Amino acid sequence: MQFRTKIPLIKQKRNPIDYKSKILLFGSCFSENIGDNLKYFKFPTYINPFGILFHPKAIESSLLNTINKKEYTEDDLFFHNEQWHCFEAHSKLSNISKDDLLQALHTTIKSTYQQLVESSHIIITLGTAWVYRFIETDTIVANCHKIPQKKFLKELLTVDEITESLNAMIALIHSINKNVSILFTLSPVRHLKDGFIENQQSKSHLTAAIHNVLDKRKNVSYFPSYEIMIDELRDYRFYDEDMIHPNTMAIKYIWEKFVNTLISDDSIEVMEEVDAIRKNLAHKPFNSSSKQHQEFLANTASKIKALQLKFPAIHF
C-alpha cells in the first residue's frame, strides 16, 4: 500500500551540476540550506553575498546594483541600535563602523560581479511576496533591521509584479553571462508571521510568477522544494520546534531529491568520496600517536591527493 504521494522528478540531462560547475545562490534562508550542503561536498559555491533576501524585489535590486557596480555612499546608510545598516543588505553586513560597512558593500559588489560572470549555475530561492516599503523614502527594502513597523507600509506583490521582477533578474544575469543555467526554487519555510492565509496567498503569487518565466531554451528551470515539503512530507514531524522551518530530516530529504535530479551521476560518486574523507578528518582517535592512527592519516592524505589530482578546485 502507498501511504503518500511522491512528486515525479526527471533527471537533469542538460548542463547538470558537477565538480566543474561554479554555483551562486541568492534568496531566503532555504537557499543557505542548499548552499551549505553544496559546500559540504566541496562544490565551488558562493552563498547569499548580500545576506538572506526574502522577496524577489530585493534579489532583483542586488543584481541590478552588482551589474551596475553601484558606488555606495553615506546616503545609502543609516544608524540604528548602535550599528550602521543598509536597507539593501541583510544585517550580517551591518557594522559599528560606517566606513567598514561601506567597504564591505563595495567588496561584496566586486566579488558578486565576478561570481555572476563566472557562474555556471545560479540558484534563486524565493521566500515571500510580502514586502515592506519605507515610508520616508517610498522605497521597498530588503531588510527592515528592526526599525519600528509603523515606519513601513506592508504590501503584497502581485503575480504580474513578481513576473516582471523575475524577468528582470533573468535579463540582468544574461547581460553578462549568457550561458548560465538559472534555477528557481520556492522556500518551504512558512512565513506565519504574515498570517496563515496570507502566507499561502504569498506562496501562490510566487509559484504563478515563477512558472510564467520558465524557459528551457534560456536554461531557466524550477526545482520543487516547496511542493516536496507540503506534499511528500506533509507531517509536523518534519518541522523544527517553531513549526515554521523544515527540520534536519526534511532538509536532508529535499537535498537527496536535489542531488538525484540536478547533479551528474559521476559527481554523485565523487560526493561519496568527499563525504568519506570529511568523516575521516573529523575522526578523533583514542591514541593519536599510535601506529594504526598514523596509517589512517596517511591513507586519508593519499585519498585527498588522488581526489585533488582529478579536481584541483577541491580543498580540505
Q: Give the span between the Cα atoms of 83 and 6, in whole angstroms.
A: 47
**141 Rama class: left (phi>0) / alpha (psi -120 to 50) / beta:** beta
Place of cell 503575480: 159
Low-confidence ranges of the chain (pLDDT < 50): none
Let me know if residue 226 belongs to a domain: yes
β-bridge partners, 167: none
Average pLDDT, the chain: 95
Place of cell 558578486: 112
Quote the domain boundaries for residue 211.
23-264
User: Total domain count for the chain?
Assistant: 1
Q: 65 burial class (0-12, 13-18, 19+ CB within 10 angstroms)? A: buried
Q: What is the pLDDT of residue 215?
A: 95
Let me know if residue 281 belongs to a domain: no
Q: Any idea what the Cα angle at residue 208 is, between residues 241 and 167, rounded to 5°?
A: 110
Q: Could you report the per-residue pLDDT of 169-204, keeping only the tens digit for each?
A: 999 999 999 999 999 999 999 999 999 999 999 999
Q: Give the span between the Cα atoms of 216 and 108, in whole angstroms.
A: 30
Q: What is the pLDDT of residue 4?
A: 79
β-bridge partners, 67: none
Q: What is the pLDDT of residue 42?
A: 97
Let me know if residue 17 belongs to a domain: no
Q: What is the pLDDT of residue 3?
A: 76
Let me know if residue 278 belongs to a domain: no
Q: What is the pLDDT of residue 125?
A: 98
Q: What is the pLDDT of residue 2?
A: 76
Q: Give the span between the Cα atoms of 203 and 184, in whole angstroms.
A: 13
Q: Which of 132, 130, 128 is nearest to 149 (CA)?
A: 132
Grid coordinates of 259: 542531488
Q: What is the pLDDT of residue 240?
A: 95
Let me know if residue 306 belongs to a domain: no
Q: What is the pLDDT of residue 129?
A: 98
Q: Give the span between the Cα atoms of 279 and 292, in whole angstroms.
A: 17
Q: What is the pLDDT of residue 84?
A: 98
Let me know if residue 94 belongs to a domain: yes
Q: What is the pLDDT of residue 33?
A: 95
Let me know if residue 292 belongs to a domain: no
Q: What is the pLDDT of residue 6?
A: 87
Q: What is the pLDDT of residue 160?
A: 98
- CATH code of the domain containing 251: 3.40.50
Q: Which of 279, 277, 233 is nearest to 256 (CA)?
A: 233
The answer to whether residues 213 and 166 touch, using CB atoms and an 8 Å cutoff, is: yes
Let me know if residue 288 belongs to a domain: no
Q: Give the span between the Cα atoms of 149 and 143, in whole angstroms.
A: 12
Q: What is the pLDDT of residue 242?
A: 93
Q: What is the pLDDT of residue 177?
A: 98
